[in-house]
Homo-oligomer: A and B are copies of this chain.
Amino acid sequence: MPRIDNLTSLFMKFPGIGTRQSKRFVYFLLAQNPHFVEQLAYEISILQKSITRCGECFRFYTNNGKLSENNVCDICVNDTDNTTILVVEKDTDFESVKRSGNYTGKYFILGGTIPVLTPDPTTKIRINELIARIKKGAPEGLQEIILALSSNPESDFTREYIIKTITPTTKELGIIITSLGRGLSTGTELEYSDRDTIHHALKNRR
Q: Which residues of A pack against B, CB within 8 Å?
A: 1-4, 6-7, 10, 13-16, 20-21, 23-30, 34, 36-48, 50-51, 60-62, 88-93, 95-97, 99-103, 146, 148-152, 178-206
Contact = CB atoms under 8 A, between A and B. Distances in A.
Majority DSSP secondary structure for residues of A touching B: helix
A42 to B, nearest CB: 8
B197 A186 contact: yes
Nearest to A4: B51
Contact of A25 (B15, B186, B189, B198): B15
* Most-contacted residue by chain B among A16, A24, A41, A180 (CB, 10 A): A180
A92 B27 contact: yes
16 contacts: A1-B62, A10-B36, A16-B24, A29-B44, A37-B48, A41-B42, A100-B195, A100-B198, A150-B184, A152-B187, A180-B183, A181-B182, A181-B183, A183-B185, A183-B201, A186-B196
